[in-house]
């Protein structure tokens, strides 16, 4: 099983980034894929989730209206489009996968079975 994130970088306030998570080694269509992030000195937190089995998506309140999560089922890739970035979005972003059916009250809870190595996002002011 492998999850490989890409697309992180340095961007100015108000800018955009597009993160990708390439998945392999499991049945992509049946998993929930979630982006988490962890800023220095803070706990890891859920950002956005897509449940590939039913297409439902969930977002943290702090990113609603700015971030969009989507799945490319042909290429087993999940994308996180991040717009109007703020300094508080600075963190290492991880994608994670789990076979359980995640809901609005559980998508951000641990554990998740598989994790990527993470990609750094830095928003400068």
pLDDT cut 90: percent of the chain above it: 98
pLDDT band at 17; cut points 50, 70, 90: very high
Query: CA 97, CA 122: separation in Å to the nearest integer?
Result: 24
pLDDT band at 76; cut points 50, 70, 90: very high
84-112 tens-digit pLDDT: 999 999 999 999 999 998 999 999 999 99
Angle at 73 between CA 67 and CA 78, to 5 degrees: 30
Sequence-distant (≥ 6) Cβ neighbours of residue 13 within 8 angstroms: 85, 86, 87, 123, 124, 125
- Mode of pairing for the β-strands spanning 67-72 and 77-82: antiparallel
Res 67: pLDDT? 98
Query: CA 12, CA 53: separation in Å to the nearest integer?
Result: 35
């Amino acid at each position: 099983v492998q999850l490989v994130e890409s697309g992180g970088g340095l961007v100015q306030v108000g800018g955009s980034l597009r993160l990708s998570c390439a998945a392999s080694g499991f049945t992509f269509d049946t998993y929930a894929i979630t982006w988490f992030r962890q800023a220095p000195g803070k706990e890891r937190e859920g950002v956005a989730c897509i449940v590939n089995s039913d297409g439902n998506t969930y977002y943290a309140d702090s990113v609603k209206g700015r971030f969009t999560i989507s799945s490319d089922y042909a290429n087993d890739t999940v994308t996180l489009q991040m717009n109007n970035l703020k300094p508080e979005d600075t963190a290492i972003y991880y994608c994670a996968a789990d076979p359980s059916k995640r809901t609005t009250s559980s998508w951000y809870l641990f554990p998740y079975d598989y994790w990527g190595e993470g990609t750094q996002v830095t928003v400068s002011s």
